[in-house]
Chains A and B, each alone.
Chain A
Amino acid sequence: MSSTDSNTIELRKRMKRKSSFRNDLDAWILFLPSVLVLFLMIWRPTVLGAVWSFFKMNAYTPGDFCGFDNFRKVVTHTQFLPTLWNTVQYVLWSLILGYLPPVLIAVLINEMVHFNNGFRVTIYLPAVIPGIAAMLMWYYIYYPDQTGLLNMVLVKLGMEPFAWLNNPTFVIPGIMIYSTWKGFAGTMLLYYASVQSVSVELYEAALIDGAGIWKRAWHVTKPQLEGILLLCLVNQIIGVFQIMEQPLAMTGGGPNGASISLGYQLYQYGFNSGGKGTGQAMALGVIVFLILMVMTVFYFWLNKRVEDRY
């Protein structure tokens, strides 16, 4: 190789490095606003919250290091275990009421020949109503005297009015009925998109083999949806585990603590304790984070196993 060739190669390499650096720089500059926003709004508060959970907080100002004292106060609070159990109940009820209906409706819409789009839009409507407005609407649907919508119906049918959200047994399922009504359309669209992506040839083959709608759903659609089903399961568990706004707006955590969730308790520590509970709010935030991390790791493990099958 002549020295001219080697110089040319070296020059090209340098130019390539320079160009790659310039590309990286461009990317970083474009990326910078998002990174800054993420840093200020998500990463910094998350890390600071975790660090400050080990400090005695004077309202929102950290004081002396206190080790695990905030954590001790949270877990020895007599309401901690009932609240944890309430939160688990929220998750269980959300799965019972809200996990399968979106799948079924997505499959149904996929099979519909007429009015497919109209039905999809109608179903999506609750998702576009602002959250607090929808909660207040349901608060009055559930209102326990005869002015509540459901009680109007019961009274018309000659029955006694029911206490609805004032009933400690019904309150969590009642809130989850609202949440399912409000949130299932978004999940349904995810499933619908996945169902749409299933190859038509597979259905045709199943049809030729004489498979009906349920067999097609079970043998063709379900295997194609398993990944997204798993993702939505974990998303739903993580989302519902942090439930806060619904008990706040609809029941205030009552009756007698029957609808207090960990998220609501965290909010109470953080914003309704006159600044005395901010340390515990952060400690409880860390506890919830750890619980959700375990679930997320489990999700990745499960997801890998599902993917390995294909």
Chain B
Amino acid sequence: MKFRKGLKIMSLAAAAAVLCGSLVGCENGGGSTSSNGKTQISVAGWPSKEGKDKENMEAKKARFEEANPEFEIVPDNWSFDLKSFYPKAAGGQLPTVYGTHFTEVSQIIAAGYSADITEQLKKDGLYDKFNPQVLDLVSKDGKVYAFPYATYALGLAFNVDMMEAAGLMEADGTPKQPKDWYEVAEFAVKIKEATGNPGFVFPSANNNGGWIFTPVAWSFGVDFMEKGSDGKWKAIFDSPEATEALQFIKDLKWKYDVLPANTLIDGTEYYKIFGTGGAGIQITAGDVPSKLTQYGMQPEQFGMMAMPAGPKRHVTLMGGSIQAVSNKATDKQIEGSLKWLETSYTPEATDEYKKNTETDIDRRLEKNELIGIKSMSIWNTDSEAVKFSHKLIDEKTNANPNHVKLYNDFVADLGDCKLRPEEPVCAQELYGILDGCIQEVLTNKDADCAALLKKACSDFQVNYLDNLDY
């Protein structure tokens, strides 16, 4: 009898726990003020493992809270990923500040999950200091919805040992720069002849293929879509230029034979192949070092150079990272969030900025990440902060600076190269469709590039452009 009574109590307790748990889950992401009256700012991407990273963040938090006693930073270990972001956002569970990439920002803004920070940026005197082209990427209808903090242009990463073996490096460690895509193919052939390894790797899955293919195609003269006078978008990439661009990718496999055997290469596989010495050259952004350390690639083993030109244009894709503030944030939280972000991202070289930048570089050095690549400035004027950061990179570089000289010169002065943002609508869906074309030409020697692109163009129109709110 006692046992049954105990069982019943346990059942009721379990039911109550389930109910409470679910109700807590349904609740909005917590209040905005703590019990001591401070405004709470939860910050995503907080290191969960004990160690230097976490200690640095704790120290940064302590300094911030001391300088801004009305705010309290609340660590949140969640980091942005596409799968969990939207469910989390719909449940009102987003941290106050979270980081993401340019590739995702337009969809996040469209879904309304990032707060309008225009007024606060103006109050803080930052609004006019951003590069307008960069700010435009995070704006909608004249309002700014995110804080861009790093921008990169796509360029070419290369394996130093393989380039040396193929005789493609100068004595001082500067690589020879391929002028156009066909010269890239020649470089890749030389690498393969000299090392026996694939000279080039091109992604093809999980939208990565399409993402990398777009700037290549632009340089062949391709335009993917245009807006008609009626305001409707039309897919226009069933063109001879697009056929030529896709034929180039096909030739890398079947004519030059410089690609790896695997033709289903997603983002992870892409960096793994390059990072483990499975390919000599890849197209990538300037943030590539952080993606290669996990494969044991030493800073001296790779470098970067400029994006080559195509037959019609010299163009590259702009990529980068942003910090956004949750749409649930109060005005006070937006104020605190921007104050927090400005400790690391500001045009002025404040003491706090200097401290945080130095700590960040030291942290990356400890991880054996290549220090030497300079990102493009997000500011429209000569920024003291950028000068400080670049000087520090020069001082602390852990590899031959000539390995990345051509890329750094490229992003410092693009010259005739045009910097383009991603395609304006349904970019991810376009990438998915282009992935299919790339996979087909890499697996089928007899694939008809023109026919593939005709179908892809029609599919993109019917499935997405005709259903923009799909």
**How many whole Å from A287's CB to the nearest CB in chain B?**
16
Q: Is the CB of B87 within 8 A of A60?
A: yes
Is residue A144 contacting chain B, with contact meaning CB distance below 8 A?
A: yes
Is residue B7 contacting chain A, with contact meaning CB distance below 8 A?
A: yes
Is residue B303 contacting chain A, with contact meaning CB distance below 8 A?
A: no
Is residue A51 contacting chain B, with contact meaning CB distance below 8 A?
A: no
**How many whole Å from A294's CB to the nearest CB in chain B?**
27
The number of inter-chain residue pairs (CB within 8 angstroms) is 120
Given A40-B22, A275-B111, A60:B86 Cβ within 8 A: yes
Is residue B462 contacting chain A, with contact meaning CB distance below 8 A?
A: yes
CB-defined contacts of B171 to chain A, threshold 8 Å: none
**How many whole Å from A3's CB to the nearest CB in chain B?**
35
Q: Is the CB of A33 within 8 A of B11?
A: yes
Alpha-carbon gap, A1 to B437, bound state (A): 92
Q: Is the CB of B261 within 8 A of A161?
A: yes
Residue of A31, A79, A255 with most partner-chain B CB within 10 A: A255
CB-defined contacts of B437 to chain A, threshold 8 Å: 256
CB-defined contacts of B186 to chain A, threshold 8 Å: none
CB-defined contacts of A36 to chain B, threshold 8 Å: 15, 18-19, 22
Is residue B459 contacting chain A, with contact meaning CB distance below 8 A?
A: yes
Given A32-B12, A254-B204, A58:B18 Cβ within 8 A: no
- Segment at the interface with A among B133-141, B262-270, B343-351: B262-270
Given A36-B19, A58-B112, A256:B262 Cβ within 8 A: no
Q: Is the CB of A277 within 8 A of B443?
A: no
Residue interface mask A53-67, B partner, CB < 8 A = 1: 000101111000000
Given A254-B435, A274-B107, A78:B459 Cβ within 8 A: yes
Is residue A296 contacting chain B, with contact meaning CB distance below 8 A?
A: no
- Segment at the interface with B among A100-108, A162-170, A205-213, A234-242: A162-170
Given A26-B8, A166-B264, A254:B439 Cβ within 8 A: yes
CB-defined contacts of A117 to chain B, threshold 8 Å: none
Q: Is the CB of B86 within 8 A of A254?
A: no
CB-defined contacts of A257 to chain B, threshold 8 Å: 436
Q: Is the CB of A33 within 8 A of B440?
A: no
Q: Is the CB of B90 within 8 A of A61?
A: yes
Q: Is the CB of A143 within 8 A of B262?
A: yes
Q: Is the CB of B11 within 8 A of A30?
A: yes
Q: Is the CB of B440 within 8 A of A256?
A: yes
CB-defined contacts of A146 to chain B, threshold 8 Å: 261
Which residue on A lies nearest to B19, using beta carbons? A36
CB-defined contacts of A128 to chain B, threshold 8 Å: none
Given A60-B87, A161-B261, A274:B428 Cβ within 8 A: yes
Q: Is the CB of B86 within 8 A of A252?
A: no
Which residue on A lies nearest to B437, using beta carbons? A256
**How many whole Å from B350's CB to the nearest CB in chain A?**
35
Q: Is the CB of A59 within 8 A of B89?
A: yes
Is residue B470 contacting chain A, with contact meaning CB distance below 8 A?
A: yes
CB-defined contacts of A32 to chain B, threshold 8 Å: 11-12, 14-15
Is residue A193 contacting chain B, with contact meaning CB distance below 8 A?
A: no
Q: Is the CB of B111 within 8 A of A167?
A: no
CB-defined contacts of B463 to chain A, threshold 8 Å: 77-79
Q: Is the CB of B264 within 8 A of A255?
A: yes
Is residue A280 contacting chain B, with contact meaning CB distance below 8 A?
A: yes
Partner of A252, one of B82, B90, B205: B205
Is residue B206 contacting chain A, with contact meaning CB distance below 8 A?
A: yes
Which residue on B lies nearest to A31, using beta carbons? B11
Is residue B4 contacting chain A, with contact meaning CB distance below 8 A?
A: yes
Is residue A87 contacting chain B, with contact meaning CB distance below 8 A?
A: no
Residue interface mask B458-470, A partner, CB < 8 A = 1: 1100110001011
Q: Is the CB of B264 within 8 A of A252?
A: yes
Alpha-carbon gap, A280 to B443, bound state (A): 30
Given A77-B463, A79-B463, A280-B470, A274:B86 Cβ within 8 A: yes
Q: Which of B221-280 contact A (CB under 8 A)?
A: 260-264, 266
Residue interface mask B418-433, A partner, CB < 8 A = 1: 0000000000110000
Alpha-carbon gap, A254 to B435, bound state (A): 9
Residues of chain B having any CB pair with chain A under 8 Å:
4, 7-8, 11-12, 14-15, 18-19, 22, 82-83, 86-87, 89-91, 104, 107-108, 111-113, 204-206, 260-264, 266, 428-429, 435-437, 439-440, 442-443, 458-459, 462-463, 467, 469-470
11 example contacts (A-B, Cβ-Cβ < 8 A) are as follows A36-B18, A37-B18, A77-B463, A79-B463, A166-B263, A254-B436, A255-B264, A255-B440, A271-B82, A274-B86, A276-B470
